[in-house]
Amino acid sequence: MGFTNMGKFSILLMIGMMWCWASIAEAEYMLYKDPKQPQSVRINDLMKRMTLEEKIGQMTQIERSVASKEVMKKYFIGSVLSGGGSVPSKQATPETWINMVNDFQTGSLSTRLGIPYIYGIDAVHGHNNVYNATIFPHNVGLGVTRDPALVKKIGAATALEVRATGIQYAFAPCIAVCRDPRWGRCYESYSEDTEIVRLMTEIIPGLQGEITDDSKLGAPFVNGQQKIAACAKHYLGDGGTHLGTNEGNTILDSKKLFGIHMPAYNDSVIKGVATIMTSYSSWNGLKMHANRNLVTGYLKNKLKFKGFVISDWQGIDRITDPPHANYTYSILSGINAGIDMFMIPYNYTEFIDGLTYLVKNKFVPMSRIDDAVERILRVKFTMGLFENPLADSSMTKYLGHQEHRDLAREAVRKTLVLLKNGKSSTKPLLPLPKRASKILVAGSHANNIGYQCGGWTIEWQGVSGNVTHGTTILSAVQKAVDPNTQVIYNENPNQDYLKSNSFDFAIIVVGEPPYAETFGDNSNLTIHEPGPSTIKNVCGSVKCVVVLITGRPVVVQPFVDTIDALVAAWLPGTEGQGVTDVLFGDYGFTGKLARTWFKSVDQLPMNVGDPHYDPLYPFGFGLTTDPTKTT
């Protein structure tokens, strides 16, 4: 071979190699993976590549207990959730959470198209399933503050704590307008008043970030790695059910439904909420999970919501009575209503097989599947999940961060409502003096973080006891008083004990035990024993302030006369010092009822503006005190 032939050969070889290299590079360059491409181009490109199986996988959300790297990969699962109290291990650290979240993600990323999954959790008053997180007051207290800026800060703090565990999505806020306190979820509602609930949607820009001027109406908005996707729930009319029955029937004409329950959804969509959850409840007998007019017609078409609609937990199962009686029918009704992602959460193959069957046999048009997948991918692209699918372990420091605890403490101060102060208005009991010789702290809720936090804390139903980091009201009292003041704690003292001690005054902390969802439905709304006896015994012999820890107004009329001062503290969360900051006068009482306080349950439902309005304490009521400077 001469020199020229050698030359020709190597040129050919080079050309050949370049061609190979170029085609490899071309195979590797995929439009949807390029963050410089416009989002719609990325979505279109990705959807063109997806099989039906991959699309249905995206629409499937499963519980963490049935998830694994292998399941994520095999079924192309689009999302995983923690149900209430579902944690990778007891008292799991943020690192343990991150390892779990990332482990599932490696399964998703190892699929053909490598679409990241998203992890969702009920962070409804802080990151409440997580050990040592900051627990903020439940919404029923936050409504009292009427302070959207505060609630926005709580959203931002919650987003950081959720990200501290690697999670990118919260099933919050609940923007129910609770019209009947017999409902077990009334504490998840900010108010009976639509306008207050509307104000509180400011938590959404706190969780997700503030939309930019160029944001399109209805487009989901999540501003990067310090923020999380939010979920306005439960659409629509969850707080309006007959007799306050959880998952019940909201019987209303459309004017009232739209006037009372819809406005906060409108606001949420305008603020760029990424997802909306359908309600278990029905409107005039039709299950919301099957309501095409309201989900597709109103939310998607009229309000122009462009994020995804998620079902509630086994929500489609409950379309039939009994639940799960005809699952294929449930899938069909849910998908046709306009649900995009399905919180299955356990038996996902049944869902995947059922939906596949329905599509292949043309019961469900491909356009409906594409609408769902487009919305899910839009949320994932918007939040940068494709660029940052794995958790940032430098954020673990935010869990239970002191700044968040200070914020929660401030929130607690502003959620308190002073209902009574002194047997006569000229002799107020509050603020209490820090200097006294001996004071009594009593009541079932005085030394119990779990009770103080309520349902949706550590466990789905909440817990009893000091099971996570926080300050009980008892220890807050101990910290607040003068070092020479003797603080005696006796949960339920009897008459003899009270007589043989001379207390300057007593702080009694009683209320409801924790509950969630249907377990909280209650038609008598009395506080549980020994609460009423503690009040009677103690207030009978010592000057007393009663602090109520409840998720709603409860029956107090029978003993209100024996009480010297009465404070509604709702479900304040882990930062008990917020209560004592105000009891002892470092701050004044400012809270105004965001709910009507009834006299007796037979008045219910009774909301501000009703013709039969005759409350014990009206909506908007709240006595004030001035802060005392004790220096």
Instruction: Using CB under 6 A, list all residues that contact ligand BGC.
Output: 83-86, 122, 171, 233, 312-313, 460, 517
Q: Which two tokens stand for residue 417?
A: 């409502």
Angstrom CA distances, 585 to 235, 500, 577, 589, stand at 41, 29, 12, 8
Bridge-based pairing of strands 286-287 and 282-283 is antiparallel
CB-based burial, 543-553: b 16+ in 10 Å, e otherwise: bbbbbbbbbbb
Residue closer to ligand BGC (CB basis): 42 or 233: 233
Annotated catalytic residue: which of 517, 521, 564, 575? 517
Residue nearest to ligand BGC (CB): 83
**Smallest separation (angstroms) from ligand BGC to the CB of 327:** 17
Token pair of 509, please? 């902390």
Shortest distance (Å) from residue 122 CB to ligand BGC: 5
Beta-carbon contacts of 32 under 8 Å, excluding residues fewer than 6 positions away, are: 41, 42, 43, 45, 46, 49, 386
CB 450 → ligand BGC: shortest distance, Å? 17
- Pairing status of strand 565-568 against strand 417-421: antiparallel
**CB 518 → ligand BGC: shortest distance, Å?**
8
CB of 626 vs ligand BGC, minimal distance in Å: 40
Report the relative pairing of strands 565-568 and 79-82 from DSSP bridges.
unpaired
Q: How many CB atoms lie within 10 A of CB 297?
A: 13
Answer yes or no: are the C-beta atoms of 243 and 180 closer than 8 Å: yes
Q: Residue 123 Cβ, how far from ligand BGC at the closest point, in Å?
A: 10
Whole-angstrom distance between the N-terminal and C-terminal Cα of the chain?
102
Q: Sign of the CA dihedral 164, 170, 175, 176?
A: negative
Instruction: Respond yes or no: is residue 517 known to be catalytic.
Output: yes
Coil, helix or strand at residue 76: coil
Q: Closest CB to ligand BGC among 9 and 346?
A: 346
Distance, in Å, from the CA atom of 209 to the CA atom of 261, rounded to the nearest integer, reads 24
Rounded distance between C-alpha atoms, residue 61 and residue 160, angstroms: 23
Residue 454 Cβ vs ligand BGC, minimum distance, rounded to whole Å: 14
Question: Which of 319/568 has CB closer to ligand BGC?
Answer: 319
Q: Cβ 323 to ligand BGC, closest distance in Å?
A: 10
- 75 vs 313, beta carbon nearer ligand BGC: 313
Residue among 84 and 137 whose Cβ is closer to ligand BGC: 84
Nearer to ligand BGC, 223 or 275 (CB): 275
Number of Cβ within a 10 Å radius of residue 461: 18
- Closer residue to ligand BGC in complex, CB, 171/570: 171
Q: Which is nearer to ligand BGC, 230 or 539 (CB)?
A: 230
> Does the bond joining 322 to the residue before it have cis omega, within 30 degrees of 0?
yes
Catalytic residue among 122, 192, 193, 312: 312
Judged by DSSP in three states, 170 sits in strand
Q: Which lies closer to ligand BGC via its Cβ, residue 197 or residue 446?
A: 197
| Largest interatomic CA distance in the chain | 119
Which residue is associated with the tokens 């565990």? 165
Q: State whether residue 95 is helix, strand or coil.
A: helix
Q: Are 121 and 167 in contact (CB under 8 A)?
A: yes
Distance CA 542, CA 539 (A): 5
Please name the residues in contact with 338: beta carbons below 8 A apart, sequence gap of 6 or more: 292, 295, 296, 299, 300, 309, 371
Q: Please list, residue by residue across 39-48, b when 16 or more beta carbons sit within 10 angstroms of its beta carbon and e when fewer do.
A: eeebbbebbe
The SS3 call for residue 568 is: strand
Backbone angles phi, psi at 396, to 5 degrees: -55, -25
Provide the minimum distance between the beta carbon of 527 and ligand BGC in the complex, in angstroms, as a whole number.
Answer: 25
Catalytically active residues, by annotation: 312, 517
